[in-house]
Structure 1
Amino acid sequence: MLETIKNFLETTGVARMFVGEGIAPDFWWKTLIMWGFAFVLVYLAIVKKFEPLLLLPIAIGMLLANLPGANLIHTEFFFDDYYLTAEQIAAGEHVPLSTMLKQVFNNGGLIDILYLGVKLGIYPSLIFMGVGAMTDFTSLIANPKSLLMGAGAQLGVFVAFFGALLMGFSPMEAGSIGIIGGADGPTAILVTKTLAPHLLGAIAIAAYSYMALIPIIQPPFMRLLTTEKERKIVMTALRPVSKTELIIFPILVTVVVAIIVPDAAPLIGFLMFGNLLNVCGVTERLSKTAQNELMNIMTIFLGVSVGATANAENFLSTQTIFIILLGLTAFCISTCGGLLTGKLMCFITKGKINPLIGSAGVSAVPMAARVAQTEGQKANPSNFLLMHAMGPNVAGVIGSAVAAGVFLSMFAK
């Protein structure tokens, strides 16, 4: 009887935090710190309402992954060095996908199975389809010049990339960190799971945290880089856009972008497919499914899977601090890049464009556009910039996907 009780106690999570084969002396306090991080994210999601739809699943995934003995996820199953020797990896060999899948299905936990959707790029692409179904490209079609502001807002992506290289990160890690500047969570996840999966938890948390903090981060730069006169500019109403244009646009963008940057095809293709479902007028049921049921399910799976990769070994390091700082820098520079592009276009058009809408060039839809609207109305209560800001905003979605494709084409093995 005593032996049975002893065996039971040895299997408890409390025992596995302190004793057991292969348990490091610092394992217990690192586990407690990870629980603390998870509880902080739960607080931010529920109480502060910071991106709750994704931060809450990420927090629960982080908590579940750091429960001693639960064995819900084995991140090592998804890395080549678990199967291959250092010499094989140096020679450029990769583990066959079939070997990885066999290991996951035979020995993996529940979240290992869910993580396959991240590993194979399924969740980010399907979320982009939902985003496309909810996105209105009318403003961009009516004012194609908005595309330039969306492109200008990608400046932070490449500045952070080179900054990460200077700080000692590898090119693949730097590309994953840089994409935070696009303020697009699914894109950051898709790039990171391919180029630097060991950084996935930190990068996803940074990306979604900064998206939630847009109303706090952007306004100081908007007021710093624009004059009061510029902020008061009232833009003329946009021209009407025909249904034919709305249908042709997603098809044309898919073809053009995929030809130029083939690695961006999964994101752009599904983004535009979702938009086509919405605008064509004959697939209302599919459009609603993409916007609601499918989007919600994929968000839960993605959040839990990504959060579960944030174990103590990967997350509690100086790299995480650098990622948070570089991500914030990337986001701020992207905001400035969009604003400066807006100022340039304001000058070229002789005051017809309010440069505030350039800040919406980051791809956080529609939060960045709402911030531009708010700042515009503070300067001029009769100003209404929301629809104008949506042009650069949705252009930023396209721009971040293209930037992701560039990094993938350059560094994906």
Structure 2
Amino acid sequence: MNGILLEFWKSSGFSQLFQCDTVLFGLHLPGELIMIGIACLFLYLAIHKGYEPYLLIPIAFGMLLVNLPKTGLMAAAVGDENGGLLYYLYQGTNLGIYPPLIFLCIGAGTDFGPLLANPRSLLLGAAAQLGIFLTFIGAIMLGFVGPEAASIGIIGGADGPTALYLTSKLAPHLLGAIAIAAYSYMALVPIIQPPIIRLLTTEKERKIKMEQLRAVGKTEKIVFPIVVTLFTVLLLPSAGALIGMLMLGNLIKESGCVPRLVDALQNSLMYIISVFLGITVGAKASADAFLRVDTLKIIVLGLIAFSVGTAGGVLLGKVMCKLSNGRVNPMIGAAGVSAVPMAARVVQKEGQKYNPSNFLLMHAMGPNVAGVIGSAVAAGMLLLFFQ
């Protein structure tokens, strides 16, 4: 009887859960147990605090599942033996399928009207990508190789699908850490951005009231995704998957002739792909891959990337404010990171705080959607150099 119980205990996950087989800073730690605790913390933040719940819940649960011993959910197929469930679902991330599909859905829900009404906001979206390239240099200095540094730097674009797409191509072993960093900082946009905005702008600048944007015609909105696709993909073919899917989704929306398809992209497909993407990305955060010194470096570099990106947009906004004789509120530059629409809402909230009659949301949406394009182009450039 004792032998049966002993065999049962050895076959259970409990027998391995408390083993100190993970080494961090010279300490032997129960890695799976620590990762399960981290996963539960992320579930708490997603459910109770509302931090990016649509993606953070599946990411955290994927992290939870992969760190339960003996499940074999991420085991690769070997010979005649089938792989684990998450291994097969992960192929959509590994092969670069899920992120472009997310971009297709994002395009179907994006209005490029504010960008067309004020084309100068494209420059603000480009300036906010500064964090990507400065962080890339910082990652190189900390010992990461080129593809790894590129994957870390893209966190500065504040665009989760782009970060996952680039990382799956260049540094898949860092996918778990980069995904957690990217989506954590996207969720913390309302906390991270306001202090940076206040530090770099004066109270007078924050009170600037901008004129109402012009109305944008339907023809402009239909032609825009076609022109952007032609120009961008011809210039930078490596950005074709992300830009192409983004603009296809937008064209489907603006054409106005397939409302059911638009509804499917904005709702059903978006949520289905988000679940698959999230759970498989979380499944890459196993204890041996996540509990490393490099993970701490990535988290710090990710915060720097996001902060520098926000600062780059605000600083260019100040330049545009000077050149326009005070007609541009520099705060809208903070929305140049592609955390849509959270960054634009932060700008709107800050603007109303200093001038209750100020409505900056639509002005901020221009740089915000420009940031989506900018991060995809930046990812294409990094792919061109390092793939």
Q: TM-score, normalised by structure 1?
A: 0.90
- Are the aligned partners of 1:17 and 1:28 in contact in 2 as well (CA < 8 Å)? no
Residue 24 of structure 1: CA displacement?
4.1
Matches within 5 A, 1:100-111: 103=78, 106-111=81-86
Matches within 5 A, 1:276-315: 276-315=251-290
Letter in 1 for 2:98: Y
- Are the aligned partners of 2:100 and 2:245 in contact in 1 as well (CA < 8 Å)? yes
Structure 1 residues 23-32 or 180-189, which shifts more? 23-32
- Report the secondary structure of 2:385's partner residue: helix
CA distance in 1 between counterparts of 2:316 and 2:93 reads: 34
Matches within 5 A, 1:15-54: 15-17=15-17, 24=21, 29-54=30-55
- Tell me what 1:9 maps to: 9
Q: C-alpha offsets along residues 224-278 of structure 1, whole Å, 9 cap, x if unaligned? A: 1111111111111111111110000011111111111111111111111111111
Q: C-alpha offsets along residues 355-413 of structure 1, whole Å, 9 cap, x if unaligned? A: 1100000000000000011111111110000000000000000000000001111101x
- Report the secondary structure of 1:67's partner residue: coil
Residue 9 of structure 1: CA displacement?
2.8
Matches within 5 A, 1:182-261: 182-261=157-236
- Report the secondary structure of 1:292's partner residue: helix
Letter in 2 for 1:278: K
- Tell me what 1:390 maps to: 365
- Tell me what 1:266 maps to: 241
Matches within 5 A, 1:151-166: 151-166=126-141
In structure 1, stretches of 5+ residues that fail to align are 78-101
Letter in 2 for 1:52: P
- Are the aligned partners of 2:148 and 2:170 in contact in 1 as well (CA < 8 Å)? yes
Q: 1:358 to 1:37 in 2, by over 3 A?
A: same
Q: Say whether residues 1:124 and 2:99 are aligned partners.
A: yes
- Tell me what 2:65 maps to: 64
Residue 298 of structure 1: CA displacement?
0.3
CA distance in 2 between counterparts of 1:348 and 1:320 reads: 42
Q: Say whether residues 1:356 and 2:357 are aligned partners.
A: no
- Report the secondary structure of 2:30's partner residue: helix
CA distance in 2 between counterparts of 1:267 and 1:111 reads: 24
Letter in 2 for 1:147: L
- Tell me what 2:295 maps to: 320
CA distance in 2 between counterparts of 1:201 and 1:254 reads: 31
- Tell me what 2:114 maps to: 139
Residue from 341, 345, 367 that aligns with 1:366: 341
Residue 16 of structure 1: CA displacement?
3.6
Residue 108 of structure 1: CA displacement?
1.0
Residue 25 of structure 1: CA displacement?
7.7
Residue 2 of structure 1: CA displacement?
5.7
Letter in 1 for 2:41: V
- Are the aligned partners of 1:18 and 1:25 in contact in 2 as well (CA < 8 Å)? no
Give structure 1 regions of 4+ aligned residues with deviation exceeding 2 angstroms: 1-10, 15-19, 23-28, 102-107
Residue 29 of structure 1: CA displacement?
0.9
Residue 31 of structure 1: CA displacement?
1.0
CA distance in 2 between counterparts of 1:226 and 1:18 reads: 51
- Report the secondary structure of 1:50's partner residue: coil
- Are the aligned partners of 2:17 and 2:68 in contact in 1 as well (CA < 8 Å)? no
- Tell me what 1:97 maps to: none
Structure 1 residues 10-19 or 351-360, which shifts more? 10-19
Q: TM-score, normalised by structure 2?
A: 0.96
Matches within 5 A, 1:89-100: none
- Are the aligned partners of 2:17 and 2:33 in contact in 1 as well (CA < 8 Å)? no
- Are the aligned partners of 1:127 and 1:299 in contact in 2 as well (CA < 8 Å)? yes
Letter in 2 for 1:181: G
CA distance in 2 between counterparts of 1:313 and 1:349 reads: 53
Residue from 169, 173, 189 that aligns with 2:148: 173
Letter in 2 for 1:192: T
CA distance in 1 between counterparts of 2:335 and 2:199 reads: 16
- Are the aligned partners of 2:21 and 2:30 in contact in 1 as well (CA < 8 Å)? no
- Tell me what 1:114 maps to: 89
CA distance in 1 between counterparts of 2:17 and 2:241 reads: 42
Q: 1:29 to 1:149 in 2, by over 3 A?
A: same
Q: C-alpha offsets along residues 114-161 of structure 1, whole Å, 9 cap, x if unaligned? A: 000001111101111111111110000111100000000000000000
- Are the aligned partners of 1:104 and 1:113 in contact in 2 as well (CA < 8 Å)? no
Q: 1:25 to 1:360 in 2, by over 3 A?
A: closer
Q: C-alpha offsets along residues 322-374 of structure 1, whole Å, 9 cap, x if unaligned? A: 00000000000000000011111111111111111000000000000000111
- Are the aligned partners of 2:22 and 2:287 in contact in 1 as well (CA < 8 Å)? no
Letter in 1 for 2:97: I
Q: 1:207 to 1:355 in 2, by over 3 A?
A: same
Letter in 2 for 1:158: F
CA distance in 1 between counterparts of 2:334 and 2:17 reads: 47
